[in-house]
Each structure stands twice: as C-alpha cells, then as structure tokens.
A and B are shown apart, each in its own frame.
Chain A
Amino acid sequence: MFTLRKVFLALSVVMFFNACSSSSSDDNGTDGKDAYDRGELLLNLADNIIVPAFLDLNTKLKTLKTDKDNFIATPNQTNLETLRGSWLAAYKVWQSVEMFNIGKAESMLYGFQMNVYPTSVQEVETNIANGTYDLTHPNNNDAVGFPAVDYLLYGVAADEASIVAKYTDAKYQTYLSDVIDQMQNLTEIVLNDWTTSYRDAFVKETGNTGTSSVNKIVNDYNFYYESRLRAAKIAIPIGHFSNTPLPEKIEAFYNQEVSKILIQDALNAVQDFFNGKAYKGSSKGESFYSYLVYLERDDIATLINSRFNDARTRIDVVDANFYSQINTDNSKMTMIYDALQLAVVSLKSDMMAVFQVSLDEGYQDNDGD
C-alpha cells in the first residue's frame, strides 16, 4: 500500500507538470515543429485568389454592361451575339466567385441576387410589364442575375429574329439594362469592401471560433460545394431529390449549351482553391491542401484531389447540353453525381474532422461522444 501510494503520488506529480508546463517549451523541443501559420493561409486565399477573382468578375461585368448598352442602342443580331459572349465570359468567372459568400457578399445576400435558378419567367415578365420593381427584394431573387439574363438573351422569344425584335420595346431594354447594371453594381460594392477594409479584417481573424475567417471560409467552401455545385448544378436537375428528372432546372437553361462549361469552371475553381493555386498564373500558396499536409494527413489531401479529378473525368464525357443529356441518358449524369458525392464525404467528414472547425455557432456543450 505504501509503495502504491508513492507510485500514485509520483505519477500525479508527473502529470501535473505535464499538464501545466505551458510556456516553458517555446524552444521547439526535440520533436517540436512550428505552429501552422493560418495568417499565411488567409493571406494567400485573399490576395491571390479571392480578390483577383472579384476583380476579374467586375471587369467582365463592365464589358457586359458596355455590350448591353450597344445592343440596346442598336438591337441587331451582331450586337446580341457580342452581348451573349460577354454574358458567358462573366458567368464563367462567376463560377470562381460564388463560393466566397463571406463579408459584404454574405451580409447583402449577394449570391441570391446573382445566381438563383431556375429563373421565374413569370416574375421577370411581370416586372417588365409593370415597369417598377425593387431588384434587391428577396421576391425578385429569381428574376435577376445571370439566370434572368440567360432568359432575356436566349428565351424571351422563340427565334433569334424575335429575340432581337423584343429589344425595340423600351420596357425590355430597361429591364435588361437594370438587371445587368445591378449585377455590376453589387459586384463593385463587394469588391470595394474587400480592397478597402475587409481584406485586412479577413486575414487577421485567425482564431478558431464560429466567426473567425478560417472557420467561415471552410464552412462556406463546404456549403458551396455541397449545395451549389453538387446539388444545384447536378443533383436537382437529374432528379436526385425528386421522383422524376427536372432538366429545366439546369444552370443556363435557356442557353442550354453551356451548363457543362460552367460546372467545369466551377469544379476547377473549387479544386484550385483547395490547392491554393493563384487565380491568375499557376503559383501556389498556403491552402487547405497544405494545411492537411501540415496536420500529417497527406492521405486526405491526395484523396480529395483524386476525387475532384474523377468527377472532372465523368463530366468531360457527357454532352455539353445537360438538358438533352438528362433526357437521353441520365445515368451518365448520375455517375457525375456519385463522383461529386464522394468528394463531399472527404470534405465534410474527413477534412472537417481533422480541421476541427466548429460547425456553426449554436449548441456548444459536448463531452466528445
């Protein structure tokens, strides 16, 4: 008993000092490694990916605006084609931006005013007929943004000549003009917020709390990938959540030919962000990938990339026109979904388990089971 007591005491003393020897070990002990610099991570994400993407989108939207002005001034087929070209160019860049629903974008519900689809033809036509509308109103979320412009440029009439003819009507001119101007306006507001103040706030918030930048961007990223990329672009139109396929719910339904290009761009953007690849050029910086490697989980980091690659391979083989692909052979679309879903498992389960980013504010008590 006496020796047992001594053993207990000795062990207790050891663990006491283990538990409490806090600041004495900044000498990087024998197996010591430096702490991961999350500031570096945020800096790379903000300066090399997020802000350049917003900048590019704003430029593309300005071009869209100019081409729209030209088209309205002279509604003809050539100007319509030019306008459609700049719409697609901007829509493609949008795929690199939508996941950053943070800061100003989050507070003014930017995403909801840019890319809610399917767009409501009825809402759009009612607005046009009335001539008065509040484009920022939540009821108008499905009557603005890229999907509304998609309708206005491709679906507003049955054939090319009649589409051009629509824009001799001042009411159609005004609505097209207002919607596009609004998109550029909103984007500029978000961009300016990033360049003037939010960027500095963003890179400073390195903590692990519900509101810190690392946590928010990780949660946003996962949410975007699961709900916007996987669900909205693929799962919903292929009928994953419904009894029958809903091909009219594809992105860019009225154009119909670009859904594939858009999801390809979106997937590239998601993967580049994961790997910390700069928006312009091919330089790489700190990223979710390098953070996983730092946490000695190269296996997860590699697996996520290979799952993204698998999904891309599956996308590459389907028709550019998702509407007809769904109607002719939906099984190929289901294979895309399956591949995308596997990456959800890796991101939401494996990566999140390792990152230990708190899900959300809210119920916090937990004893780990």
Chain B
Amino acid sequence: MTFKSYFNQYTNAAPLAVFRMLFGLMMCYGMIRFWYHGWIDTLYIQPKFNFTYFGFEWVKPLGNYTYLLFIICALSAIFVAIGLKYRLAIITFFLSFTYIELMDKTTYLNHYYFISLMAFLMIFLPANAQLSIDNLIRKRSYQNIPKWTIDAVKLLLGIVYFYAGLAKLNSDWLLQAMPLKIWLPSKYDLPLIGDTLMHQTWFQYAMSWSGMLYDLAIPFLLLYKPTRRFAFLLVVIFHVFTRVLFPIGMFPFVMIASTLIFFEAGFHKKIIRLIKDVFQNLKPSTLIATQSNYKYTFKKPLVAFIGLFFVFQLAFPFRYLLYPGELFWTEEGYRFSWRVMLMEKMGISTFKIVDAKTGNFFYVDNKDFLTPFQEKQMGSQPDFILEYAHYLGDHFTAQGHKNVQVFVESYVTLNGRLSAPYIDKTVDLYQEKESFKPKHWILPFNDDIKGL
C-alpha cells in the first residue's frame, strides 16, 4: 500500500459518528459537573489573581460572564453530540474549552490538554457524516469517510498512552516505585484492598511496572484485532482502578469511551441502530439521501496540515531535552507532554519584598493573594513562582513602595527526597523575565533521576 493509496482509502463513518456523540455528551457532562461542584466560582471568580500561560497572558476569567462561557461550552458540546451545525459547534467548543483552560494554569491537567487537542482535530473531521441532525437538515448522509480521519483520532489516543508510558521509563518510577510508594499507602481506607495491599512494597512495584507496560502496549493491543477485546477489557480495568485510587475526575471515562473507536464499524453500527430505535417516533418524514463517500474539498492542504499537527505532537514532548537540569526538578518542558502521575512534589515558597535603596524588607503572607490550591501549585513550580513574584512586585509598587525587589525562599520535596532549597534566594525575581530560555535561578537538583 502506497502512501497515496492510503489517503484514498475509505471506511465506514459509524465509528467516528459514535465517537463524536460520546465526546459531546461527556464534555457537556464535564461542564455541568464543574459548575455543580462550584469550581467556576472557587477556581476562576474568587481568586484575586490567575496564573497565566506564557504568551496567553491576555486570557483571563471574565468575572460573572465566566458562567456564560461555561454555558456556551456546554451548549456547543451538546450540539457536537447531536451533530447540529457540527463544524460551527466543534469550533465553538474548541475555542471556549481552550479559553477556559488557559484562564489559569493552576488547574492544568493533561487530560484537559488532550481534550483541547482532540477538539481541534475534530474540527477537520467529518464526524457528522452519520447520526447527526445535520443529516436531516441537509437531507444527506455519508456511508463512508476517508480512513485516515478515524486513524487520526486513534493516533492521538495512541500518542497519549505511549508517551505516558515512555515518561514512566525512569529510575524513580521503576526502581523506587515512586511516587506510588507514597500515594498507595494513603488509600488505606479502600474496602478490601485498602489495608491489605496498599502498603505492601511488592504491590507498589507491581503497580508501577504494570502501569508502564500498560501505557506502552495498549495502543498496539487495541490496533491488533485478535487482542482488541482483551485490550479494551484492560482499558476498563485500568481506568476504573485508577479512578478508585486517585481523584482524576472525568479522565478515566473519557479514555474508556474514546478507545471504543478502535472497534470495527459493525459494532458502532449496532450502537447507531440502537439509538435510532430509541428515537423512532421522532423520525422525520423527509428522506435522507445516503451518499457513499464523503469527499474533502481541499484534501491535499488539509492532509498536509494534519500531518504537520502530528509531527508537532510527536516532537513537542521531547522539548525538555533542550533544557539543562533534571526535568522533574525544573519542570522546563514538563507540561503538554503526557507526563501523568509521575511526581509527588510539594513546596513552600515565601516571598520577601525588599527596598533596594534602604534594605528594608518584609515578607508576604501568600494567603493574602492566593487560594490554598493556587498556593500549593505555586510552591513547587518555577514559572508560577516567577509570575507571582512579578504580581507581588507590581502590587507593592502600586501601593507606593519604592525600589521594589522580590526574593523568594523556596524549599521543595520531590518523590520522597527531603526538602531542598529550590530557588536562588539572592536573585531578584522582579527583574527576571519569563521566556522559553532555561531559568538560571533554579538551584541544581542534588540527585540523579535516570531514564527518559
């Protein structure tokens, strides 16, 4: 099979349609869940200050309009689910969801990044070819869609798993069973397994190693037909188990539902038939013409663009190689790289405001400016520390303080190592600028973590 003939292959549209519907439903549920828990208020409206992403400093919560943003996001997710004005809906969803995620990096989670990427990819996929209201409006549905469109979704899922597996190939995870050695014993109150297994050393190692093997192997087990059912069973067990152990929100369900796309079209056709049976009474009188193949208008540039997208996805997680120092310690190139559940990191950072002329100084009570959750995240992440230092510098300058310098005394513990000094306390952070360059004011890590 040549490169060209691959992109001319067609496959049944059902798996992508079912994926679209499940994706939309889960995203809508995710938004409602967020609202229900009161997190819009506690995470976006209450904080006096939000930690932004470099280059996206203009993305800020919108006061009470933030609720409107969530409504728009949830509604667009429903539109995606039912396939109504799909293209517009998925673009709206992508923009609103990504905006929400960019408002404060305190809440950064890999799976939110995954959802943003998936939504972005879906903008370019004919996910409304079947099982959509658009079919009714346009009186047209499609039997088949280009095979690469479904494969693109599989590839993105595969990258998430495989890279998460690669990230586990390090000495802390494999040789010290860290951080599971810390996390598992704290789950002592689980029924049955809580006080029998969680504190056992062998169990902690078994979990570390099987987690690594699972992540690396699962994309291939899902792709290969003879192992597919078994692989899906593993997916369910793995994610349900992690859901029981850790507070990881929606992620397990998103992954379980998403991996269904690896199944053959026949399976998805059954689902579609089931759904159509349920809504039988609502069947419109209009006839829908089923065309055989969905055809892209700008196929070549689009394929090239999606190709570039994936080249970027494959390369971007390795950007940490361009930085000196230990990745887990400096976190330069840590985010957006599918490094999930790899570190137990805690830090305490206290800020000192100095008048450069007189030498007078005082310390800041972080509680005056940050929520407990923000303070926790800020404590051990250099880019947070820098941004907060600037915020404090600006704040006290505006208050009338002169010649403001901002220093930090910071201690961080990583994967069970005793707390060590983290930031050079002689560096005036108010004069340091955020950039992609290595941060020279992070003190060196006095240990060695081997591996990727």
Contact = CB atoms under 8 A, between A and B. Distances in A.
Given A32-B200, A243-B362, A8 B217 contact: yes
B136 interface: no
B203 to A, nearest CB: 8
B182 A353 contact: yes
A300 B418 contact: yes
B143 interface: no
A31 interface: yes
Contacts of A359: 372-373, 376
Interface in B199-224: 199-203, 206-207, 209-210, 213-214, 217, 220-221, 224
Contacts of A297: 416
Contacts of B202: 29-31
Nearest to A348: B348
B210 A19 contact: yes
Interface in A147-166: none
A328 interface: no
Contacts of A125: none
Contact of B247 (A5, A345, A354, A364): A364
A18 B206 contact: yes
Interface in A212-239: 212, 231, 235, 239
Indicate the size class of the contact surface on chain B: 35 or more
Nearest to B341: A368
The winner among B108, B185, B249, B360 for most chain A CB atoms within 10 A is: B185
A208 interface: yes
A82 interface: no
A357 to B, nearest CB: 8
A131 interface: no
Contacts of A241: 362-365
A240 B363 contact: yes
A241 B366 CA distance: 11
A283 interface: no
A364 to B, nearest CB: 4
Contacts of B376: 359
Interface string B72-96: 0000000000000000000000000
Interface string B97-137: 00000000001111100000000000000000000000000
A6 to B, nearest CB: 11
B200 A355 contact: no
A123 interface: no
Nearest to B106: A363
A14 interface: yes
Interface of B is mostly: mixed
Contacts of B350: 341
Contact of B418 (A5, A25, A206, A303): A303
Interface in A1-38: 5, 8-9, 11-12, 14-16, 18-20, 22-23, 25-26, 29-33, 35-36, 38
Contacts of B25: none
Contacts of A11: 213, 217
Interface stretch (B50-58, B234-242, B440-448): B234-242
B140 interface: no
Nearest to B350: A341
Nearest to A337: B363
Interface string B372-389: 110010010000000000
The winner among A33, A207, A349 for most chain B CB atoms within 10 A is: A349
A26 B198 CA distance: 11
A350 B418 contact: yes
A29 B201 CA distance: 10
B372 A12 contact: no
The winner among A26, A30, A356 for most chain B CB atoms within 10 A is: A356
The winner among B37, B39, B237, B418 for most chain A CB atoms within 10 A is: B418
Contacts of A364: 247, 249
Nearest to B231: A12
10 contacts: A8-B220, A12-B214, A15-B213, A18-B207, A29-B202, A30-B202, A348-B348, A350-B413, A350-B418, A356-B182
Given A12-B221, A295-B185, A367-B110, 18 more contacts: A12-B217, A15-B213, A18-B207, A26-B196, A31-B201, A207-B189, A240-B362, A300-B418, A345-B411, A349-B411, A350-B418, A360-B372, A363-B42, A367-B109, A368-B183, A368-B343, A369-B335, A369-B341
Interface of B: 37, 39, 42-43, 107-111, 179, 182-183, 185-189, 192-203, 206-207, 209-210, 213-214, 217, 220-221, 224, 226-227, 230-231, 234, 237-238, 241, 246-251, 334-335, 339-348, 350, 360, 362-365, 372-373, 376, 379, 411-413, 416, 418-419
The 6 residue pairs across chains A and B that have the minimum distance between CB atoms: A15-B210, A356-B186, A368-B341, A35-B195, A365-B249, A207-B189
